[in-house]
């Protein structure tokens, strides 16, 4: 059994709760199996299976290349529009998937929550982890496309894990906020679909960040995905120097989102099984 | 190490129930409230996590538990009984840390596992083996622990042939067996069990009861919630009897069950009336008012001792316009806990239909030897006058039968094991 500490005290919890790291560590096997269940069952009984992980960004790329690249002739920082948009779509697809998964996670796990105790924090975090599998596959396709278009990674690629961490942090921070709120307000559930879609235009997915007026650049960077996506382009396609300003602002916002999200989640945790 | 396993002090839990919605009865009012509804919805939903101290929304709140205190020693098996809504499940959920108390304090000494449902977190797309791991970790086991017990779990479940088949292809029985097998291999110091036995067939229930028995014999502390009084009686020497969020009794099982049944009786003591469910009114020349159980001394009792002489006393009214009735048939149909017919006591079968019955009187049916195993039973009462049914009451009252040393051997007769009927018998030597 997990609880090695022999004494458990149950009391009404008031106000802000610290995160019980020790307990989270004790439940690491559960976390592992939840992530693994997510991966294993996501494309169960489908013909294309894991192929779905690349179909979404590739089809978006095709449509964007036609609509924004050819028809609207949006500036793509001097690289072919196809790879310009696909490089952004890889992190963006991850982010939107992880965020939707995370924000709906508590509602879909409510059956489990009302029947057994475990640290609830593992629920919104596990989709953030499991979507990394899709991300990896889409990223491998990206490497193939880079080779086709003649882009080769430089030493700068060592910064990439930092950006990946940043997008995970953002997805889990927002996810914790939204999923804790969705228990009480189902509006979140209905809003998430188009909200995520609209958010895409707040990040430099179909256009380059260089199109944003200079005086709004830092404000623009407050959405951490702006820094992530521009960073991906700059590291892999060498469009611009690494946008440390965007990444810096984004990191601060992401940290704030993550920490406040975790605390808000812990605070609302006591109501989950009663209100869900 | 202290020998107190569970210590509960002044535990209370408040719930907000059915948030009321006001309805407007004019069209304009209705349109207005639609426009205003997001605002009022917000206020309403906000309240879900807020409790104000004023009494303004008093009727919205119920106290599922109020000032509950008790102590359980290490190795004790405690049953919790009470009517629906008495707070049994709430208490269990607080002990299991699923829901938080509103006030009070609980101290648990030892590792806790709760079994409020079998198969929590089972995923239909995963195989049996994979679900063992998933369900096991949800219940609090580590992967290593499951690795070690895997063969045992698969063995116990009896589905080894399909262990690598997705669970969605299992029959529901197989799924329950697999899930229970995982739960049975938890090895906590304190085990909390809710009405999980209610699901599954009798064989499964027997297996569960056997396992609980085994766990308790190993010196584990068990808290067991059930409506199945026979199971409670078999497993739990001590019982907590809850009613409306308060502990009415924490005592020896027999005393607590007696009190519980007495409460049940008070509520069912009111005469039957037309609104009562199961009361099928027919020509209503004669209506049955109530039925009482009498013991061999013809005293009113709440329960019947298995194998003893007893009487059914049926009270009835006759249509005021009629002086007396002839050729009146009475039948009492005894059914078991799941409402399968067991037998019928009938004036027709014994050629003893009544004549000359007056208004507001009663008839008595004597049973020499009530050879029914301990447990809970239901009865139907049927009455006809001449050729027409006059009154027909379905499941109108419960009968609680307690053990009574029928075989004069001092051995307990377990309903769940031996079946509901007692037959007098002797074993001969050559």
Q: Does A161 touch chain B (CB under 8 A)?
A: no
Give the span between the Cα atoms of B159 and B147, in whole angstroms. 17
Which chain A residue lies closest to B43 (C-alpha atoms)? A185
The per-residue pLDDT for A1 is 47
pLDDT in tens, A94-123: 999 999 999 999 998 888 888 888 999 999
pLDDT, tens digit, 9 for 90 and up, residues A143-157: 999 999 999 888 999
Which residues of chain A are under the pLDDT cut of 50?
1-4
CA distance B268 to B265: 5
* A184 neighbourhood in chain B, CB within 8 Å: 45-46, 48-49
Closest to A274 (Cβ–Cβ): which among B99, B106, B141?
B99
The structural domain count of chain A equals 1
* Minimum Cα–Cα distance from A46: chain B residue: B125
Choose among B49, B97, B142: nearest Cβ to A271: B49
Q: Looking at beta carbons, which residues of chain B come within 8 Å of A44?
A: 125
pLDDT in tens, chain B (430 residues): 568 889 999 999 988 776 555 556 677 777 777 777 788 778 777 777 776 655 555 667 788 899 999 999 988 899 998 888 888 889 999 999 898 898 999 999 888 888 888 778 888 889 999 999 999 998 888 999 999 999 999 988 888 899 999 999 988 878 888 888 888 888 888 888 887 665 666 677 777 778 777 877 888 898 988 877 777 887 888 999 998 889 988 988 888 887 887 776 555 555 565 434 455 556 778 888 889 898 888 888 888 888 889 999 998 888 888 888 888 999 999 988 777 888 999 999 999 999 988 888 889 999 998 888 888 898 989 888 887 888 888 888 888 888 888 888 878 787 778 888 888 888 998 7
What was the pLDDT predicted at B277?
43
Instruction: Please name the residue that has the structure tokens 């559960």.
Output: A30
pLDDT at site B59: 64
Those residues with Cβ within 8 angstroms of residue A81's Cβ, 6 or more apart along the chain or in another chain: A64, A65, A68, A69, A70, A74
Q: Is A111 on the interface with B (CB under 8 A)?
A: yes
Interhelix angle B202-217/B172-184, rounded to 10 degrees, is: 0
Is residue A115 in some structural domain?
yes
Q: Which of B353, B365, B359 is nearest to B287 (CA)?
A: B359
Q: Which structure tokens are listed for B95?
A: 């002990």
Residues of B in contact with A12 (CB under 8 A): 100-104
Residues of chain A with Cβ-Cβ distance to B45 below 8 Å are: 184-185
The shortest CB-CB distance from B15 to any of A184, A185, A274 is to: A274
pLDDT for the residue A3 = 43
**Interface residue A33 vs chain B (CB under 8 A):** yes
Q: CA of B148 to nearest chain A CA: how many angstroms apart?
A: 12
Return the pLDDT at B274. Answer: 44
Contacts of B156 (CB under 8 A, 6+ apart): B181, B184, B185
Top residue of A5, A11, A190 to mutate, by most chain B CBs within 10 Å, is A11
Q: What are the distances in angstroms from CA A168 to CA A29, A53, A92, A98, A124?
A: 20, 17, 11, 8, 12
Closest CA in chain B for residue A184: B45
3-class SS of residue B267: helix
Closest CA to B197 of B173, B220, B231: B231
Question: Is A20 near chain B, with CB under 8 Å?
Answer: no
CB A114 within 8 A of CB B117: no
Burial class (CB in 10 A: 0-12, 13-18, 19+), A1: middle
A14 close to B (CB below 8 A): no
Cα separation, A275 vs A185, whole angstroms: 10
A73 contact B CB<8A: no
Nearest residue in A to B97, CA atom? A117
Q: Smallest CA–CA separation between A96 and chain B, in Å? A: 24
pLDDT at B22: 56
B354 forms bridges with which residues in the sheet?
B328
* Shortest CA distance from A273: residue in chain B: B99
With respect to residue A137, please indicate whether it lies within any of the assigned structural domains. yes
- What is the Cα–Cα distance from B116 to B143, expressed in whole angstroms? 22
Pairwise CB contact (< 8 Å): A10 & B97? yes
Q: What is the pLDDT of residue B199?
A: 60
| Domain assignment of residue A178, given as a range | 21-39+46-275
Compute the distance between CA of residue B224 and CA of residue B208 in angstroms, rounded to an integer.
12
Best residue in B121, B147, B199 to probe A by mutation, most A CBs within 10 Å?
Answer: B121
3-state SS assignment for residue B84: coil
Cβ separation of B94 and A112 shorter than 8 Å? Answer: no
Mutate to test the interface with A, among B74, B90, B96, B98 (most CBs of A within 10 A): B98
For residue A274, give the chain B residue with the closest CA.
Answer: B99
Is there a domain that residue A114 lies in?
Answer: yes
CA B394/CA B398 separation, integer angstroms? 11
| Percent of chain A scoring above 70 in pLDDT | 97
- Domain definitions of chain B by residue range: 11-63, 64-265, 272-418
Fold of B64-265: Rossmann fold (3.40.50)
Partners of B380 in beta bridges? B333
Which helix (H) or strand (E) element contains residue B367? strand B361-367
**CATH classification code of B272-418:** 2.70.50.60
How many angstroms separate the CA of residue B242 from the nearest CA in chain A?
21
Contact assessment for residue A146 and residue A236, using Cβ atoms and an 8 Å cutoff: yes
């Amino acid at each position: 059994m997990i609880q090695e500490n022999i004494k458990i005290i149950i009391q009404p919890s008031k106000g802000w709760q610290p995160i019980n790291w020790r307990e989270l560590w004790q439940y690491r096997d559960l976390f592992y199996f939840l992530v693994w269940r997510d991966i294993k069952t996501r494309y169960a009984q489908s013909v294309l299976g894991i192929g779905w992980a690349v179909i979404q960004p590739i089809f978006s790329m095709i449509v964007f290349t036609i609509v924004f690249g050819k028809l609207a002739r949006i500036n793509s920082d001097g690289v072919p529009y196809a790879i310009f948009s696909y490089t952004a779509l890889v992190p963006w697809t991850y982010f939107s998937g992880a965020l939707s998964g995370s924000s709906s996670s508590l509602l879909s796990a409510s059956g489990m929550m009302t029947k057994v105790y475990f640290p609830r924090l593992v629920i919104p975090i596990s989709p953030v982890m499991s979507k990394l599998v899709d991300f990896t596959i889409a990223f491998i396709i990206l490497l193939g496309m880079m080779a086709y278009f003649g882009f080769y990674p430089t030493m700068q690629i060592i910064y990439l894990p930092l950006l990946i961490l940043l997008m995970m942090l953002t997805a889990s921070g927002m996810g914790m906020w939204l999923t804790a709120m969705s228990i009480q307000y189902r509006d979140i559930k209905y809003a998430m679909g188009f909200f995520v879609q609209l958010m895409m235009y707040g990040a430099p997915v179909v256009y380059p960040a260089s199109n944003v007026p200079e005086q709004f650049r830092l404000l623009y960077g407050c959405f951490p995905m702006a820094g992530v996506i521009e960073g991906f382009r700059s590291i892999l396609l060498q469009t611009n120097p690494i946008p440390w300003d965007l990444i810096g602002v984004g990191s601060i916002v992401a940290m704030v989102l993550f920490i406040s999200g975790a605390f808000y989640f812990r605070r609302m945790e006591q109501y989950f099984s009663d209100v869900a | 190490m202290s020998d107190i396993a569970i210590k509960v002090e002044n535990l209370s839990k408040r719930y907000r129930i059915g948030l009321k919605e006001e309805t407007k009865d004019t069209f304009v009012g209705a349109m207005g409230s639609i426009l205003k509804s997001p605002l009022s919805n917000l206020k309403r939903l906000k309240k879900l996590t807020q409790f104000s101290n004023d009494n303004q929304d008093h009727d919205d709140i119920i106290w599922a538990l109020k000032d509950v205190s008790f102590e359980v020693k290490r190795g004790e098996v405690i049953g919790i009984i009470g009517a629906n809504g008495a707070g049994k499940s709430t208490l269990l959920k607080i002990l299991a840390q699923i829901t938080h108390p509103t006030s009070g304090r609980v101290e648990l000494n030892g590792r806790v596992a709760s079994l409020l449902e079998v198969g929590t977190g089972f995923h239909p797309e995963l195989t049996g083996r994979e679900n063992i791991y998933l369900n096991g970790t949800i219940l609090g086991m580590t992967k290593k622990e499951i690795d070690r017990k895997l063969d045992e779990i698969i063995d116990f479940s009896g589905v080894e042939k399909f262990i690598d088949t997705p669970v969605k292809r299992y029959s529901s029985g197989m799924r329950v067996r697999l899930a229970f097998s995982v739960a049975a291999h938890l090895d906590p110091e304190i085990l909390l069990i809710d009405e999980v036995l209610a699901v599954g067939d009798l064989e499964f229930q027997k297996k569960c009861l056997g396992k609980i028995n085994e766990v308790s014999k190993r010196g584990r502390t068990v808290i067991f919630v059930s409506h199945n009084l026979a199971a409670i009686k078999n497993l739990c020497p001590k019982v907590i009897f809850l009613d409306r969020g308060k502990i009415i009794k924490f005592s020896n099982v027999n005393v607590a069950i007696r009190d519980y049944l007495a409460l049940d009786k008070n509520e069912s003591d009111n005469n039957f009336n037309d609104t009562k469910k199961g009361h099928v009114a027919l020509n209503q020349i004669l209506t049955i008012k109530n039925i009482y159980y009498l013991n061999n001394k013809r005293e009113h009792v709440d329960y019947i001792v298995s194998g003893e002489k007893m009487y059914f006393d049926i009270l009835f009214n006759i249509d005021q316009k009629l002086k007396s009735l002839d050729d009146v048939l009475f039948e009492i149909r005894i059914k078991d806990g799941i409402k399968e017919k067991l037998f019928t006591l009938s004036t027709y079968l014994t050629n003893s239909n009544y004549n000359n019955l007056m208004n507001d009187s009663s008839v008595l049916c004597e049973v020499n030897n009530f050879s029914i195993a301990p447990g809970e039973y239901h009865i139907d009462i049927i009455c006809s006058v001449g050729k027409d049914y006059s009154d027909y009451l379905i499941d109108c009252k419960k009968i609680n039968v307690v053990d009574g040393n029928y075989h004069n051997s001092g051995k307990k007769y377990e309903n769940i094991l031996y079946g509901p009927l007692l037959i007098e018998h002797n074993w001969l030597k050559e």
